[in-house]
Structure formats: structure tokens, C-alpha cells
Structure 1
Amino acid sequence: MMRIPEDYLERVYAGVLGKLVGVYLGRPIEGWSHARIMRTLGPIAYYVHERLGRPLVVTDDDISGTFTFVRALEDHGVSPDLSAEEIGKTWLNSIVGGRSTLWWGGNGNSTEHTAWLNLKHGIEAPASGAIATNGKTIAEQIGAQIFIDGWALVAPGQPHLAARLAEQAARVSHDGEAVFAAKLWAAMEAAAFNTADVDQLLETGLSVIPADSRIARLIGDVRRWRGENADWQATRQAIENHYGYDKYPGICHVVPNHALMIMAILYAPDDFARAQTIVNTAGWDTDCNAGNVGCLMGIMLGLEGLDAGPDWRGPLADRLLISSADGGNAVNDAVRVSYHLADLGLRLAGRDGIEPPKDGARFHFSLPGSVQGFRPQKGAETRVRLSNEPFAGARALAIRYKALAEGQPAAVTTPTFAPPEVGVMDIYQLMATPLLSPGQHLKARLVAPASNRGTVAARLRLSVYDEDGRLRDVDGTPVGLPPGTAKTLGWRVPSFDGQPIGAVGIALGANTSGVEGEVLLYYLRWDGSPDVVLRRPPGRSDFWHRAWVNAVDSFSDRFAESFRISQARDEGMIIHGTRDWTDYRVQTECVLHLGDYGGVALRVQGLRRYYGVRVTRENRLEIVRVRDEEVKVLASTPFDLALEKRMQVIASAVGNIIRARVDDVDIEARDESELAFRDGGIGLVIASGALSADFVAVSPP
């Protein structure tokens, strides 16, 4: 067994936060030169997004790739022997071509795009990323390095294991010096759980790569320049002179950027904020470089090191976005991601995984300083503030309010779907589905300390997209909380005519003036199957359309039907729902206009992991299990298919039984194998043709 640090979970959390801070700090100036940064902004000492008119939390490949590819451990077994081929399969299951996760810069331009195309065309990893396949320039760009943090976070104190996993992941898309850089940085991050000595970390990293590699040689040079120059800018200039972008072909080569990362940790070995200033002010691929540096220093220095400088965590509020085919994983937070990674790390070490806090509540605030995306609603900032506080042997979110008066509530919410600013996020598209659906049971535990002044009225709040694409608030029944009491608020989420729920939270109000104090939010959760009819709602808003992961050539909203999907060749699907969904029933009326097959998907866990109920051009009705490259027909029966004819479809997944009725034909399959799917969302599937439906209803079985 590995020796797991006692503070492992908190150090993972610090590493995840460090990654997020670095990425979001560097994202607005990605690709800028050092000279442009100094001329336009000066040294980067804090977030600059507002100065440049951009949102802070955006979709970014560094975050999406890092926290998507590590899920290969779930897909293929939590094992140190995970292979590049298996991670490549996770790419194909998780990445929506041309839309999610990666920079889609073109074949031969973007390394990851090129590798994904290779995988799609049957070139398995590691050949998909090899120099022999793609050439040296493509293979040695920066991407392998920027995605490796997750592999180190699941291998605490095990640098050789972290390097091995990082190498397998890197070789899906990269080769040569790019792989060496990824291995070295992963080894350093894994070792950082046990030491804060940067020189020792560098020696550990160098031990896993060839001594004559260019990465090893540049580290020697940067260390020497650090000894010669007290000013980091002199070393930055030396890096540009010897390892600058002009020396290496391609749009974003790993070598120049790796040198800047090494420089940052040598000049600020114990100062998170200063390291971020150095690596961001230095320029080039700022979000990638700052994200890797931030993760390393977060692991090394812990939450205390992260909190020693400016307030990085306040504006961030734990928020992150992960764009992949698993839309239910998109709107996320650092606490959930950290628990997931630490659970994988413990299991990889041969130990039991982490018991979910507070009986699996979605929001439990169990890590110091965590707020899990909760922030005051606009207009309530002066009346309420948030903090994470110890409570009853655990932790809770303290909602402190002052001078509440009738008609002036104080509300705090956390996102459950794509934010309104999603339309202005450049480069990287967000694939997301709502986390919370009508029919589910929402519950929150609130505690009012005895020191409060007056009774506060608390209610659950939903922010729902309206017909104009704006969020409007819908509140549950108020419950009085006198000082010294605790109550559980409950609400069955109502239907909103197909509009998605954008946020959930707590609204506090008073019937008299002068009510002050705090309410502790111990947990907020939802349970149960959805009970929702998905269709085009009235109005101009397109958020109902965005609520589906779009993995087809055309998902049009210009036809009379709500859903019209078309795929030129092979298979495509649109996906809705989350992995919280287990047993449910789906009903729709669909039309196969053209195609090899089409129908509905159940328990969808990506593009290549689901159960399908489909009708085929061979006049068969089938239940299939799709798992990576294997399509297993679990049941099949004759069915007279007629193109352009509306079909009544009812399908359900309950336990290990999949049932369906299409028109008057029944079919059933039982999957008791180890490959069975236990949870996942729903989808509409089409192969080489077009399919439409006016509604899709999901309900308890």
C-alpha cells in the first residue's frame, strides 16, 4: 500500500484550487508576449478579467482535459496498469468532435485535434500521438503537460506511478519532449505531497526522464541562470534568447513554456502568489503554465499557502466548468472534483474509497473555506456574506445577514447549469446539461444560532431561465427560523415548461426590520428520478437547446419539431441528464426520416457507453449495450420500419432490466454482467440520417 498523507484530501483540494486560480488568472492573456503584458497591464498580481471585459470562470481546455481524461480510471478499472490505449478510449467516449474539451485548430495544426482524428480513424494510442504518425512538430506541442495534474493527484507520494500514468495519458496525443515534460511535472507534483523543497522536487522529476533530453538540459540552464540573476526578468530574457518561440516550430511548443514554469518555482519556491505573478507576467501560454505551477504549489504549500497572499478563492468560489460528452459533469466545483480524485487515489493505493459526507449531499462544505459555488445574488451583496465554519464536528456554510427588512431578502445561490455569460465565452464551447430537474426532491438543512436577533424566514430558491434567456427567481414556501432552531426545508421541484434551472439556493427574509444574524447551511441536496417533459418552450431563449450535449452534425431548432437531429455518417446523439439518474422511464414520439438506425438511449455515460433502444433499416427492434468499441445486441425482435412514420416509444431502465415498447412491439433485456451500466442520462440516437421528436418525457419508472 502507498503511504497516504494524513491531510491528503485537503492537499488535493489545494492542488485543484491552485490549478483553477492559475488557469483563470492566465486565461485572459493567453498567447500574449511579456512585452505586451507589461505595456498593457503591468505585472500580473491579481485577476485581470474585469479589466479586459471577460468573465472569470470560463470553459478552458486545461481544466476540461485534466478532469475528463483522469476518468479513464473509472472507465477501465482503478489500476496502476492503466494503458494509453484505454485512455484513448476515454477520449472517444468523452470528447464531442469539434465542440468539447479541446482546441479544434485543425488536423496538423492542433495536436489534440490531430490525435482525436487518428483515434476516430482506428489508429489506437499510443500510435495516435506518435512522432512516427504525426511528425515531431505536432507531437511536441504543450498539450501533454497541461493535462497531467490529475494523474499526480491520484498518486500522492508516488512520483514514479504518477510519471507512468502521465506518460500513458500523454502518449495518446504527444511524443518526444512533450512526454518528458509531462512525466517530470507529474512526478514533481506527486512528490510535493511529501516535500516542499523545490530542488528535491526537480531532482525527483529529472530521475524519470532521460538525462540527455532537451527538457533536462533546459532545467540545468534555468537553474544556472537563477544562480546568476537575482531578477527573474533577466532569466526570462535568457530563456527567450535560448529557448524562445522562434526556436521551436508550431503554435505552442512545450519547451519554451516548460522553461518559464521552472523559472517561476525557482524564483518563488514558497510563495504561491509571487510564482503566479512571475509565470503570468512572463507571457506565452499563460493559462497552461500558471495552471501547472498553481497545482504544484497548491499541493506543496496546502491551503495555507494559497491563502497567504491575495484573496484568490473569493471570486473563484470553487467554481469550474468541464466541457465533455458527460454534460452532468460540466457545472462543477473544486470540492466535488477533489473528493472524486482523492477517492480514486485511495482506491489506487489499495484502500477503501471516501465515504460521501452527509449521506451523499451534493453541497456539504466539508473542506476548509469551501463554498461550492455559492455567492450572494446580485443586489444582495451588501446584506449578506458567506464563510465556511466548523459546526457539530463537521463544517457548514455560514450565511451572515444584517438589517433584513420586509421586501429586501438576502439570497445566495450556486449554479446548476450553464451561466448566462456562456454566449460570450470564446474558443471553448461548453457542453452541459442541468444538474437539477423538475420532479426531483430538493432538501436543505438550516440551523439558526441562538445568538440571532429575530426570526428569519428561509425558503429554497430556484433561478430558472425565462423566455428571453434571463434568470428569474422562483421560491418555495417560507419557513420561520427563530433563534436556536434547526429545520429541514423540502420542495418537489415543479415543472417550468421545458426551461432549464440555472441555479439553486437559499433566500432569507424578515417580516420585521432589524433582523440580523446568520443561518448555517449544513447541506443542500436533491434525490429521486426526474419528472419532466423536455421540449421547445415559448419565447426566444435557446437555453433549452443548450441543455443537451450536441454530438450530431446538425441539431436544428428551425423545424416544427422540438428536436431534429441529423448525422452525415456513422452515429450521432444528443444527451440530457446526469449520472445521478438511475432508474427511470422515457417516453417520446419519434420519426426516422432516413438512417441505418435510430431511437433512444438510456443510462448514457458518454458517446460510447449507453443502452440503446433502436429500430433498424433491417426491420429489427433492438436493445443494445454500447461500451467503447463493442456493440452487444442484448435483445432483438422483428419490427416493420416505415420512414417518415411517427413511432410511439416507451423505454425504461430499472435495476438490470431494460424494457421498451415501440408502437405495439415489446422487447426486454436483462444485463447482469460486470459491464452493465447502473446510471446515466438519456439521449436521442441517429446513424447516417435524420431523426426528429417533438418531446421527450422522463419520469419515475
Structure 2
Amino acid sequence: MKRAWEYDYEFFCDAIPVRDRTDLIQWDNLLEGKFLEEARQMLETGKGAWIKPLPESKAPYSKMLGAISSMRNMGYDVQEADRLIPEAFRAIDEDRLIDLQIINARVFKALAEAPKIESHPYWSYTVYNSFEQYAQSVKFQEYPEYRLPGQDALFEKVHAGWLGEIIGSALGTAVEGFKSSRIWEVFGEITEYVKPPETLNDDITFELALLEAFREKGYDITSEDIADKWVGYIPFAYTAEEIALNHLRHGIYPPESGYVANPYREMIGAAMRAAICGALAPGNPRMAAELAWRDGCVSHHNNGILAEVFNALIVSMAYVETDMQVILDKAMRMIPRDSEFYSVLAFACQACSQSRDYRQAWELCEEKYKEYNWVHAYPNLAAEVVAIRFAGNSFERAMTILMMAGQDNDCTGGPIGHAYGVMLGLDALDDKFVAPLRDQLDTYVRTMESQSITSLSKKTTEAILKYN
């Protein structure tokens, strides 16, 4: 029987990006100001749930195959869901929408009831269910002598961080969802935007919601506070965040919102929104990690949250350290060695040490994690390690490596770009990346559809100073 990950991997390997695109991102008519939530949800639960081009890069994506393969990755027997896949594709070919709706529901039922495979490697690692459990297993890096710089100097770091993140996200949205070899075939090595940059994506959305909660309560914010902002500000989401948002609207709050019936709970979604947690805790890795955990458990669990913690640690330390490889090493020491997520970081480091260049190292990682959906945290965080190891302290080189790795590379370019921006400052961001943005951030966050990057940076700086 052909398994979900095999279908998924075929789609991924066969997809070819298109050069010289000038089309705009279309979030279900959001550019016309219409929040067509009900229509979008109907599409997602119909044919589009099995295979649909992404709004940004146009790469094919299957949320159903991703759900099944992710549950298998987490050590569950998904054979019942696997058996329904051919039936689903037949229903699509024959345009049997009613039957397809039933099959989709049956797939999620099978995943919710999937038995645990006790011998699966996943269960040989510790499962981390709370921040307290995590914090007891690591020793946090401390910077007792660090003091926040003055307002102007802090603003420059914050501004460079946001610019670095928005550049990384904009670079990635044009090529996300494609295999590395396909990107090489079409573009060669990417060193600049491959299409006019856009900022209308789902990566920064959730960071803006957290920032609003933080502006009200500072470091006292809870996961429920963050969840409330999601419900109020965010009209729709995808994968783990979509399920969590639906839970929240029906009164199921964190941590249950991130865990219950959420097969996507170890995908990249939490890690993609980590930068704000590190930015709000400059030079304070423990607080950055705690903010990331409070945020992560709204939609994720265990390794999915640890991936967010890892990225938040990197951004927090970028305010103090001056070498990105040192930051990477210290961040890894704050990830529990008995977690499966740590094994991913360690494998990526080993791949780097035995490879002559980043392309060879990435090929090892890509092969190792080919059974994971390209939106999963593991291949993407492995790509981050490869990028930092081979880019050193070069923002541009790090972005190139992340773009060439493929996968969900707007979600890796964003937080890693933020960290490089903070550490290196505005002078390290080439004008070829900055100027096309025109200091503009477009989102689909309610009341924040358009703002300047400068104003966002000022708002973030003010929030940091208010509570420090």
C-alpha cells in the first residue's frame, strides 16, 4: 500500500517553480478586502484539501497528506487513513464532492483514533509537555552584565531585525514548497529576489497578535491572552494554526488548542513566529524561551514548541553576541538532549562537519528527512543549522542557503533573517533587499492591513522599553 508520505514526496519532487513571475499573492480575494472565511473553509475541506497551489509560490500542497504523514512521524499507526487516499483521489477525478467530504472526515477520524506504535523511534525520546518540564532539563545562558542600549540604539537593532525578517520571508514566499534541486534547475543560486517582493503572507501575522498582547501585559502575558488576540485579529490560518483557531472559536484554549486533534502540531508554524519572542526578551534567553512556549502551545506541542524556543533563543542572544555560530552552539545547549528535536539539530551539525560545502550538507539532511512533509519543523530547522554553519556572519549568504534548501523557506528565512539583522545592524542589509520593500508591511491582520516597517519597529521598541 502506498503511504501518504510517498504521495506527498512525489508531489514535492515533481513540482517545478516558474521564472519571471510578476503575479501578486492572492489570499482568497483578500487583496480586494474580502474576508471570505466560509468560502475558503469550504474549499479547504473539498478538493483543495488534497492538492492545491499555494497562494504565494504556486507550489502544490496537500494538507491531508501532510496530516497523515505527520501523525506517522509522531509514532502513530495511520494505515486506516492511508487506505482512504486512493478513494479520495478517485472522488476528486470523478467530481464526487459529497463523497469527498465524507472521506476527509473519515481521514481525520482515523488520525484521531490512530493507535500508538510503542516501538516507533519517536517514543524513545522524551515528550515535553510544559515549560516547567523543559526548563528543568536545560541550563539557560545568562548575560547578567547586559543592559539595554539607549532608545535610538535599541530602535536600530529592532528595526534591522524586522527588516531582516521581512526580507527573509519575502525571499522565501516566491520559492517555498520546492525541492532544492528544482530551485537550482530554474534559478541557479539565488542571491536576490526572484520576483518583486511581497509581505502579504501568514508568517508575521501571529507575531503581530502576540505583540498586541505584550503591549497590554508585558511579560505577564499568558497563552490565553495570546489566544484571545488570535481570535480577535486573525481571520484564517493554515494547518496547525487553522485547527487551533477553530478550537479557540469554540472555547478550547491552550494547551488543548494546540494538541487535541491537531496532526500538524510539530510542523513549522510555531517556529516561524518565534522572532518576536526573542526580540521582546533581548539578552534574556530564559524569558525568550518562556514567551515562545506560551505562544507555541496555542497551536503546537512538544518538538513543534521546542523549534519555536530554539529560534527565539537565537534572536534573543543576537542582541548580545557577535558571532552567529556561537549563538547556534549556545542555543543548541538550551535544547534538551533527550528530545527528538535535538537529534535533528545534531544530525544537521554532523552533516555540516563532514561536507565540503552547504549543498552537500543539505543533500544529507534532505535525504534524512524526506519522509517528513516540507512544512514540518525537522527539515526546516536542519536547513537553519546548515545556513548558519556555512554562512558565518553573512546575512546575504544565510538567505541564499535557506532559499536553496527549499522546503518552507519563508518560515526559515524570516526568524533567521531577524537574528542576523539584530546582530549585524542596518548596514549589513544590502539596499537591493531593503529598497524594494518601500518600508511597507501588508498583512491580513484585522486593523493592521497596512503599516510601515518603521512604525512597527517603533511600536516594538516602545513595548520593550515599557516593561524593562
Alpha-carbon offset, residue 65 of structure 1: 2.1
User: How far apart in 1 are the matches of 2:160 and 2:453?
Assistant: 9
The equivalences for 1:158-197 within 5 A come to 158-197=284-323
User: How far apart in 1 are the matches of 2:335 and 2:297?
Assistant: 14
Corresponding residue of 2:348: 222
Structure 1 residue 305 and structure 2 residue 461: aligned? no
Alpha-carbon offset, residue 198 of structure 1: 2.6
Kept in 2: contact 1:13–1:334 (CA 8 A): yes
Three-state SS of the structure 1 residue aligned to 2:315 is helix
Kept in 1: contact 2:328–2:388 (CA 8 A): no
Corresponding residue of 1:94: 233
Three-state SS of the structure 1 residue aligned to 2:204 is helix
Alpha-carbon offset, residue 323 of structure 1: 1.5
User: How far apart in 1 are the matches of 2:258 and 2:378?
Assistant: 17
Q: 2:198 aligns with which of 57, 63, 70?
A: 57
Three-state SS of the structure 2 residue aligned to 1:62 is coil
Three-state SS of the structure 2 residue aligned to 1:210 is coil
Moved over 4 A (4+): none
The equivalences for 1:335-354 within 5 A come to 335-349=454-468
Q: 1:315 aligns with which of 410, 416, 436?
A: 436
Corresponding residue of 1:17: 163
Structure 1 residue 155 and structure 2 residue 281: aligned? yes
Q: 1:119 aligns with which of 248, 261, 284?
A: 248
Corresponding residue of 1:512: none
Corresponding residue of 1:255: 378
Kept in 1: contact 2:352–2:386 (CA 8 A): yes
Three-state SS of the structure 1 residue aligned to 2:441 is strand
Q: 1:129 aligns with which of 258, 269, 289?
A: 258
Corresponding residue of 1:205: 331
User: How far apart in 2 are the matches of 1:294 and 1:273?
Assistant: 9
Q: 1:324 aligns with which of 445, 448, 463?
A: 445
Q: 1:240 aligns with which of 354, 366, 374?
A: 366
Alpha-carbon offset, residue 334 of structure 1: 1.2
Q: 1:199 to 1:47 in 2, by over 3 A?
A: closer
Q: 1:5 aligns with which of 149, 155, 162?
A: 149
Kept in 2: contact 1:27–1:287 (CA 8 A): yes
Matched to 2:375, the amino acid is: C
Matched to 2:279, the amino acid is: L
Alpha-carbon offset, residue 224 of structure 1: 2.1
Corresponding residue of 2:211: 70
Matched to 1:279, the amino acid is: L
Alpha-carbon offset, residue 280 of structure 1: 0.2
Kept in 2: contact 1:14–1:298 (CA 8 A): yes
The equivalences for 1:144-543 within 5 A come to 144-244=270-370, 246=371, 248=372, 250=373, 252-307=375-430, 311-326=432-447, 329-349=448-468
Note the residue ranges of structure 1 that are not aligned, 5 or more in a row. Answer: 50-54, 104-109, 350-701
Alpha-carbon offset, residue 64 of structure 1: 1.9
Q: 1:12 to 1:227 in 2, by over 3 A?
A: same
TM-score between both structures, scaled by the size of structure 2: 0.66
Corresponding residue of 2:64: none
Q: Which has the higher contact order (CA 8 A, sep 6+)?
A: 2
**Alignment deviations for residues 71-112 of structure 1 (CA, whole Å, 9 cap, x no partner):** 11134x12x23211111111111112x4xxx33xxxxxx111
Corresponding residue of 1:552: none
User: How far apart in 2 are the matches of 1:199 and 1:36?
Assistant: 29
Corresponding residue of 1:648: none
Kept in 1: contact 2:157–2:422 (CA 8 A): yes
Kept in 1: contact 2:395–2:429 (CA 8 A): yes
**Alignment deviations for residues 201-234 of structure 1 (CA, whole Å, 9 cap, x no partner):** 1233234332111221222222222222231001
Matched to 2:176, the amino acid is: E
Matched to 1:40, the amino acid is: V
Corresponding residue of 2:27: none
Kept in 2: contact 1:33–1:282 (CA 8 A): yes
User: How far apart in 2 are the matches of 1:219 and 1:5?
Assistant: 32
Note the residue ranges of structure 2 that are not aligned, 5 or more in a row. Answer: 1-143
User: How far apart in 1 are the matches of 2:256 and 2:271?
Assistant: 18
Kept in 2: contact 1:66–1:146 (CA 8 A): no
Corresponding residue of 1:31: 177
User: How far apart in 1 are the matches of 2:454 and 2:402?
Assistant: 26
Kept in 2: contact 1:85–1:126 (CA 8 A): no
Alpha-carbon offset, residue 251 of structure 1: 5.9
Corresponding residue of 1:45: 191
TM-score between both structures, scaled by the size of structure 1: 0.45
Three-state SS of the structure 1 residue aligned to 2:203 is helix
User: How far apart in 2 are the matches of 1:58 and 1:306?
Assistant: 17
Three-state SS of the structure 1 residue aligned to 2:432 is coil
User: How far apart in 2 are the matches of 1:209 and 1:134?
Assistant: 26
Identity percentage of aligned residues: 30
Corresponding residue of 1:587: none
Three-state SS of the structure 1 residue aligned to 2:194 is coil
Alpha-carbon offset, residue 276 of structure 1: 0.7
Corresponding residue of 1:575: none
More helix by share: 2
Alpha-carbon offset, residue 290 of structure 1: 1.1
**Alignment deviations for residues 659-679 of structure 1 (CA, whole Å, 9 cap, x no partner):** xxxxxxxxxxxxxxxxxxxxx
Three-state SS of the structure 1 residue aligned to 2:338 is coil
Aligned length: 322
**Alignment deviations for residues 631-688 of structure 1 (CA, whole Å, 9 cap, x no partner):** xxxxxxxxxxxxxxxxxxxxxxxxxxxxxxxxxxxxxxxxxxxxxxxxxxxxxxxxxx
More strand by share: 1
User: How far apart in 2 are the matches of 1:212 and 1:70?
Assistant: 32
Kept in 2: contact 1:183–1:205 (CA 8 A): no
**Alignment deviations for residues 679-699 of structure 1 (CA, whole Å, 9 cap, x no partner):** xxxxxxxxxxxxxxxxxxxxx
Three-state SS of the structure 2 residue aligned to 1:151 is helix
Kept in 1: contact 2:206–2:230 (CA 8 A): no
**Alignment deviations for residues 44-65 of structure 1 (CA, whole Å, 9 cap, x no partner):** 110011xxxxx52241001222
Three-state SS of the structure 1 residue aligned to 2:343 is helix
Three-state SS of the structure 2 residue aligned to 1:312 is helix
**Alignment deviations for residues 167-221 of structure 1 (CA, whole Å, 9 cap, x no partner):** 1001100011110010011011101111122333123323433211122122222
User: How far apart in 2 are the matches of 1:139 and 1:313?
Assistant: 34
The equivalences for 1:599-614 within 5 A come to none
Matched to 2:252, the amino acid is: I
User: How far apart in 2 are the matches of 1:33 and 1:241?
Assistant: 11
Q: 1:5 to 1:219 in 2, by over 3 A?
A: farther
Alpha-carbon offset, residue 5 of structure 1: 2.9
